[in-house]
Each structure stands twice: as structure tokens, then as C-alpha cells.
A and B are shown apart, each in its own frame.
Chain A
Amino acid sequence: MSVPDTATPIAAAGRSRTSLRLAALRDYGIVASFLALLLVLSVSSDAFLTTTNLLNILDQWSPTLIMAASSTIVFVAGGFDLSIGSIFGLAGVIAALLADKVGVVPAMLLGLGAGATCGLINGLLATYGRINPFITTLATMMMILGIGFVLTGGNLISVTEPGFTELGTGSFLGLDYTIWVAALFVGGCGFLLSRTLYGRYAFAVGGNPEAAWLSGVRVNRVRVIAFVLSGTSAALAGLLAASRVSTGQADAGGLNLALDAVTGVVLGGVSIAGGEGAIWRTGLGVLLLALIGNGFNLLGIDATYQRIVQGAIILAAVGVDAWARTARP
């Protein structure tokens, strides 16, 4: 939308009111929806607004929060990562297989390293390899899951080393480690995206890769880093989950977990086209999902309906995004 140049330097730039209203709905719709659901659940269920329940939700959704935060960065940089569910499983498997042999901490670090490597390979294929990121990670999702099955022979890998469960079940100042890890990771991603050079470059690369490159941004490197971060975070989330049950399982995450993370990102109004988004909004998106699930449980509604509601909410969120873009004359 252009405004005539007759405007003074301080004059308001004209934008259609409808589009402004839709843009506001897109930007703050997630806040309103989240608060509304919070209110409804608080009123309709006594069990909802209790410390135990709220901490349970957070604890349960910590892995998804972690993966959604780094997925946001991948989205912003114009990418897409479907393979995180498989990396989630593989990291747990590697840590579980090695914990008894090399010790808990080295095993977990190796699990993280495996996630980072998977991310690096995704990133290289999707940039220098010029394969569409969706296709790349669809393929690696299958391959990584397959590798996990090969390593485990299709079995659950139980860990006898008692220290293995510390990360998933221990707590500090009354909060589980998982919640601490998720909070730190999500906060770190928020800082990375909104305050650092890297964050700016990610927005530029997702918004207009050619302009970013001509402005001196190393486009492929920025994207590869996003994928490495994504792989590493999926591994971190996988380790938290494996540690909680002291078991490694190749298909612990799978496609559903990846889709939960992507759903959170989309509900947060992060643009699938790249170049737009914020971590805090993704955070709210995931928590909204969490509240829906919790609400269905507490109110005793058949869980089957949960999927239908989730799908409808995704359509509404993405629809508002699309309409806000095109409503401008």
C-alpha cells in the first residue's frame, strides 16, 4: 500500500482499517484466545486452577515447547522441519543405549550431538542441496526413524543406570528440571530471534532471500544454523522424555509430536511464508494447545473431539493470517 508523497515526514501511513483490524487479530488473537480459554477453564473446573494441574501441564508440554521454539526460528528463516519427531526418538535411543557403557552425561551429550548432526544434514540438503525443506525433512524423518529402529531392533531400551532419570524427574526450587530447561531454552530462543544479529538475519532471509543476500547476509548459513538448532532442540526434548521414563524408544516422538510443535507455531501467528513471527507467540500457541487437551480431560469430554477442535482452530488461525494479508486494497 502506498501513501501519496504529499504526506509530511510525521504523517500516518495509510492502511485500510479492515486490514489493520485483522492484523491486530492476527498479532493479539492468540493472547485473547489463550486468556479466554484460561478463564473458561478456571470457572468450569475446580481442578484446573491448581498448582499441581498447571505444573503438570507445563511439565508434560515442555518437550513440545522446546521444539516449537526452535521451529519458529526455522519458519522465520523460511524453512520447515518435519523430522524433529524422529530426531526426538533417535536422541533418546542413543542416550539409552550408551548410558550404561559411557556414563549418563556423555551419553546424553552424544544424543544431543546426533540431533545436531541430523539438523546439519537437513540444513545442507535444504540449502546447498537445493531440495525443498519440506521434502528434505519428510525424507529424513523416515530415514532417522528407520535408523532408530535399526539401533534398537524395534525394542524399548531400558536404562538401568539410576542417574539417567535425574534430568526428567528431578526438581529445583519446587519446579521440575524439565520446566527449567524448557523455560531457559524458550527464553534463549526469544532473545536470539528478537535481539541478536542472527535473529535479524533470520527475518531478512525469510522475508526476502535475494535482498538479504545482496545486503551481505550469508543466506544459506543462516538457514543451516536454524536447522542445526532445530535438530539439537528436538534431541534435547527427546532426552527429557527418555529420561523421565528411563527408556529409549525410536518412535517416541514420531510425526504427531512434530505436528504438535508446528501447530503451536502456526497458532502463534508465525507466517508459514517466512520472515514473520515471535517466540512468545509460539509459546502461547503451544500452551493454548495444552489447555485444550487439559480442558477436554478435566471436563470429561471424549478425547476424539479434541482433534476436530484442534484442526478447526488451526484453520481459523491461518485463515486470519491469510485474510489480513489480502484484505489490503
Chain B
Amino acid sequence: MRTLTTSPRARHAAEEGAPSGAAVALENVGKTFGAVRALHQVSVRVEPGTIHALVGENGAGKSTLGKIIAGVHAPDAGQVIVDGRRRRYGSPHDALRDGVTIVAQELALMPRRSVAENVVLGDFPSRLGCLDRHALRRRYDALVEQAGFVLPADALVGDLRLADQQKVEILRALARGARLIVMDEPTAALAQEETEQLLAIVRALRDQGTTIVYVSHFLTEVLAVADTVTVLRDGRLIATAPAREETEAGLIAKMIGRSLDAAFPPRPAVPDKAPAVLRVRGLSAGNAIHDVSFEVRAGEVLGFAGLVGSGRSEVALAISGALRPEAGSVELDGRPIAPRSPGGATRLGIALLPESRKTQGLILGRSIAENVALPHLRHVSRFGVVSRRRERRVTSEVATRLDVRAPSVATPVGALSGGNQQKVLFAKALLRPPRVLIADEPTRGVDIAAKRAIYDLIVGLARDGMAVVLISSELEEVLALAHRVCVMRAGRIVSTLDGGDVSEQAVMVAAFGSDEAGGGR
């Protein structure tokens, strides 16, 4: 398995001196959704047989551009030229006829059918009207050989991990004879070693001549895999350049239109005499966590690193009353506590910012005010009746303080951007300041500007004496913000790194349990 940093940079098509027609050329493409202008006069050429990355903040228009190429959206203005011919796709189906398809963020698979059936879907080999299983299997095996990775043909897709489901989508694209595949944020939900695997597959496809349009906001990945990078900002084209001429800092500067002086705020020191606020001893729950012990002091940010599925989120759930531990003790300010429900933990002063804001955090159809007030409703009501004036006042206050951007607190949360939704989640946890804040992936899927705001917020809370547990898959985030880092592997804390010991290398070694940090498996 290649690593991010050692991958050989691919030959750029232009370098071959073969400036043949572009696989796809977009000319002055524009698209508006209601009042929002998603794209404005964007022109991009995608050379055949290259990996062309589209980067930008959330809302910059990169996904929209990818979807226009694949026929999911039709442009309002401009032209799409595929293999030298003007095209106007009415649906993804039209695009597929030209060999153009998309692997979307939300996978479109049938969970109760087998891998092979999903891959060959829509073009089943038949004999006398019945499915010809042998022919199906032969075709599947040929595809797998072409793609260069292995998936069990008979496994049910619903039983596969997300990373493998994505591979099913890729196989399906190949089965349909795709010559250009748009991949929309393919690694957003993958763990690091899965990301490595996916990038290797993407490179292999490119080397076989498939053109890849790679939409992502993970710049390290983009620089490692792409031949060409196009930066979008606010729906406009900023630049297209060979990837090897770009740096992360340079891309960020283009994406946000100014250079970010420092991506992270300085971290205040924890006072020497700061007392331990949360003390966890020997916590175990099912197969998820075993014998977990740690403590967090007032004003301290304790980081939790480790692979997805290593038990980090379960520790958060167990402390906040959402998962019943089988053994161990939790002390808050020196007193033993055993919250039996999330509500109990909230009353004790433990606030959880859950991992997935859409499924665990927010009620998207309801207003900002209702979401923010939900865990604290008793404090804005009397005799079971909610005081709407009071609710509006306290929620507006905290929403303004956290810079939630919306017309008013009556706006439904579902209408907000990812960054603003995350801020609403913070507002919900902080409406009545807790003693301990457990933030699980607090910056997942938010853009750079909102990330910085969230970092400032976390550091500010620690400065004011709150004990913060920060769980994140973005290593640099943990390294920059946390005073100490607990690294988890297979449900255990395998290492607690302090001060000078904290480094990317040290965390990766502990997380993977080997010296080949970042090497996957």
C-alpha cells in the first residue's frame, strides 16, 4: 500500500505533448438554485486519462460542477462539451451513454442484494428471461480483475463497510463502461487506511486510462492524488493548475481569498493548580471499550485520537449516559456519578456534541430556537408551559455569541450550512454552560472559515475553565488544540501523549499498533 506522501506523481497529459481534445470541457457554465448562485461563468478543461480535482469551501460550487458534468444537474448557462461534442444532459442516464458517471456522496445501492447483482444492475445477463447466474458471475469476475481489487461477489451490500460499498459503486461505474467518473467527496466518511486504499484504486483507474473528476475538501489527499487542481470560490473559477505546482497553504489562500495567518489559535496553558473535573477509571462497555481510564482538568483540552471504530465515540457516549458501562467509575468534581440517560448527564453538567449532527444532533425540520433550547426546556418554562419569549431571548443570545448566521432563531436548522449547523450544536450544548464538554468530530464537513471559528470557540471555553474532551479524526486538529492526547485502538487507550511527546508520528504509531504509521493494513 502506498502512502500519501510517497505516491509517484502521475504524468500530466500536457507533459506527454499530446494536447488532444479534452474529455470534458465546460465553457462559461452557470447554475442557480432559487436565490443562490451556485456557479457563475466557470470554464474548465478535463484532460483524458488524468485525475482532475475540484476543491473549494462548502458552498463554493465544486459538487454542483461535478454533478453538471455527470448530468445530475443541467446548467442554466454555458456549454458542456464531451469528447468534442456539445452535450445537454437531461439526466445521469444521458451522461452514461457518453461513458460519464458519478459516484455520489450518498451511495445508491440495494443493501439486501449481493455485490455482483448491485454491480451489474440494469444489465442482467439472462437466459429465457431468467437471470443467468453463471454469466453474471463471469462478468463480475472480469470487472474485478480489471479494477484490481477484491470484493466477495456473494456478500450482501448492506453487510459491507462503507468503504467497500464505495468500491461496489466504482465497479458499477466500470460495468457500465464509464470512461469518466466523477467522485464526490469519496473519502468524507472513510478512515485513514480506507482512504489510502481508495486513492490507490483511483490511481490504478487513471493508469488504465479512465478520467477521474475528484471533488474533495481534503487538500492533503487532493495534492497526493490529483494531476490537475481547479479551485472554486463562491461559485467562480479561481484557478486551474498542475497539482505539483500547488501547496496546501497556496490552495487554502485561493479557496478563502486571503491567506490564513494561522489555521489554529494559540492554546492557553492549563493552570498548575487546576483541579481534575472529570475522572474516569476502568470504564468498560461491551466490545466497544475496555478498561478506559483518564482525567481532564479544568481549562484542559484532552484529545482523543485513533481510527474510526477504535472506541472513541463509545467513550463519549458512556460518559454522557447514552451507553450503559458494565464496569468502571466516573467522577465529576470528585463525586462519583452514574448518569442513566443523556438527560441525567446534562443535568449533572456533562454536555455531548455528538458525532453526526444530522442523525444524532439536530432536528432539521425545527427552528434554531427549538433545537438549542431542547435539552434545557425546563429552564425556559413554568408549569410545563414553554415561555416562548424567554426561549427566543436566551437562544438568540447564545446564537449571536457563537456567530450562527441565519435570518433569525426561527429559521429551520435544515436550511443552514454545515458550519452553521455545527454552531447550533455548540449553542445547544452551551446554552447553560456545562462543567465538561465532549465534542465528537466537531468540525466534520464544515468549511475552513467555520473550522477556525470552532477552534477559537473550543480554546476560549478551555480558557474560561471548562474541561473539554475533543475527539477528532483530523489529526492536526487534535495535535494543535489538545494539551494531552489519548490514542485509542480496539477499545483501549493504548497511549496517552503529553507535551513534547505529542507528534503525528507518535499518534499514528500508537493508533495503528505498528511502526508503519499511515501504512494501512
Contacts and interface: CB of A to CB of B under 8 A. Distances in A.
A303 interface: no
Given A1-B414, A218-B343, A211 B36 contact: no
Bin chain A's interface residue count. 35 or more
Contacts of A2: 58-59, 416-418
Given A2-B416, A197-B378, A213-B342, A208 B364 contact: yes
A196 B420 CA distance: 27
A9 B73 CA distance: 29
A4 interface: yes
Interface in A1-37: 1-20
Given A9-B403, A217-B343, A197 B363 contact: no
Interface string A177-211: 00000000000000000011111110110011011
A81 interface: no
Given A5-B447, A17-B34, A216 B366 contact: no
A211 B363 contact: yes
B36 A4 contact: yes
B142 interface: no
Chain A interface helix/strand/loop/mixed: loop
Interface residues of B, number: 57
A214 B384 contact: no
Contact of A197 (B362, B385, B407): B385
Q: Which of B58, B381, B417, B450 has the most CB of A within 10 A?
A: B417
B35 A12 contact: yes
Nearest to A9: B405
B156 to A, nearest CB: 23
Contacts of A89: none
Contacts of A17: 34-35
Contacts of B185: none
Given A197-B384, A211-B362, A215-B428, A14 B35 contact: yes
A4 B365 contact: no
B59 A207 contact: no
A217 B344 CA distance: 10
B334 to A, nearest CB: 24
A275 interface: yes
Contact of A203 (B58, B320, B366, B447): B366
Contacts of A3: 36, 59, 415-417
B375 A215 contact: yes
A98 interface: no
Given A16-B34, A197-B384, A216-B346, A5 B414 contact: no
Contacts of A12: 35, 407
Contacts of B288: none
A105 B400 CA distance: 55
A204 B366 contact: yes
Contacts of A197: 377-378, 381, 384-386
A31 B416 CA distance: 29
Interface in B260-282: none
A211 to B, nearest CB: 6
B260 to A, nearest CB: 15
A11 B381 contact: no
Interface stretch (B92-100, B352-360, B461-469): B352-360
B104 interface: no
A59 interface: no
Contacts of B400: 9
8 contacts: A2-B416, A211-B360, A213-B341, A216-B343, A217-B374, A218-B341, A275-B366, A329-B33
Interface of A: 1-20, 195-201, 203-204, 207-208, 210-218, 275-276, 329
Interface of B: 33-36, 57-60, 73, 234, 320, 322, 341-344, 346-347, 352, 354, 359-366, 370, 373-375, 377-378, 381, 384-386, 388, 400, 403-407, 411, 414-420, 428, 447, 449-450
